[in-house]
Structure 1
Amino acid sequence: MTQHKLIPVIDDPAIVAQVTAAFEAYERALIDNDVAAMNVLFWDAPETVRYGIAEIQHGGAAVRAWRESCAPVPKSRKRHRTVVTTFDRDYATVSTEFTSDATPLVGRQMQTWARLGAPDAAFGGWIIVAAHVSLIDAPDALAAYATLG
């Protein structure tokens, strides 16, 4: 029996644009501490997982409860080297690094996005289904970011 491997379409420009728009909306909500907007862009399901800098949430309800009480991100947050990768029409990852005046550490953020909503929903139905945020000591990265402006 011959088995055919399906090769996904990677980085279709139209899909990359949709995910990028959803990611940018999430980032604006994060900086503005717009909890309602962030909640719309995070999957409200028991399968949702978010690993934060100093906390863990399993399930959309846990993510929402944490958002209600967490401190806002610093307004000085700057992103570096954001990479959006899409797989066919319904799955994507977004990876970015960030710095702020609040810490000398370098932040790393990864999100898994899936199109689970209706195509006519906000941002074409794209939502975050998993996320991970961490901070590391990376003086070489900080020096490189300083030269980027």
Structure 2
Amino acid sequence: MDINIPEIVAEVTEAFMRYERALGSNDVDTIDTLFWDSPLTLRYGPNGTLLGHDALSAFRRARNITGVERTLKNTIITTFGHDLAVANTESDRPNSEATGRQSQTWVRLPEGWRIVSAHVSDLPDA
């Protein structure tokens, strides 16, 4: 299996950054598009488990976006072959001492790269 084929890394990085821009501007339609439209899509987060695209979309549409600004650091995107990738990143928020952590599993589907699983958590400042 080929790991980190440059053009595949570039494709996933572009999709990852599109997600990041949409998150920062609360562009819920784009966020919805970038998650796999399936009842099997999963997101673990500080507020619990969201199972299914509909649950993720409802969460995004209802959430308060105050303080969502963040700066990414230590982002690592690893691709496996042509159709699977994992994106991991940490983030800092201006009004928080905690370091945010985010993991996403991306799969190339017929409609393009989609997040099929995500995990978001904070690591408190020690």
Identify the structure with the greater helix proportion. Answer: 1
Partner of 1:21: 14
Paired residue for 1:50?
43
C-alpha deviations, 1:83-134, integer Å up to 9, x for none? 000000000000000010232111000000000124xxxxxx0010000000
TM-score calculated relative to the size of structure 2? 0.95
Q: Could you say if the C-alpha distance between residues 73 and 43 of structure 1 is closer, same or farther in structure 2, counting changes exceeding 3 Å? A: farther
Q: Which has the higher strand share?
A: 2
Partner of 1:138: 125
- The counterpart of 2:114, out of the listed 119, 123, 127, is 127
Aligned counterpart, 1:143: none
Offset, 1:71: 1.8
* Structure 1 alignment gaps of length 5 or more: 1-7, 119-124, 140-149
Q: What are the ranges of 5 or more consecutive residues in structure 2 without an aligned counterpart?
A: none
8 Å CA contact retained: 1:30, 1:72: no
Aligned residues: 126
Alignment CA distance shift 1:73-1:133 (3 Å): farther
CA distance in 2, matches of 1:115, 1:97: 23
Partner residue, 1:145 = none
**CA–CA separation in structure 2 for the residues paired with 1:24 and 1:73:** 20
Superposed structure 1 runs of 4+ greater than 2 Å apart? 73-76
Q: Give how far 1:75 is off.
A: 5.0
Q: CA RMSD in A?
A: 1.2
TM score, norm. by length of structure 1: 0.81
Structure number with larger C-alpha Rg = 1
Given that 1:90 and 1:115 are in contact with CA atoms closer than 8 Å, whether structure 2 keeps it comes out as yes
Query: Share of identical aligned residues, percent?
Result: 44
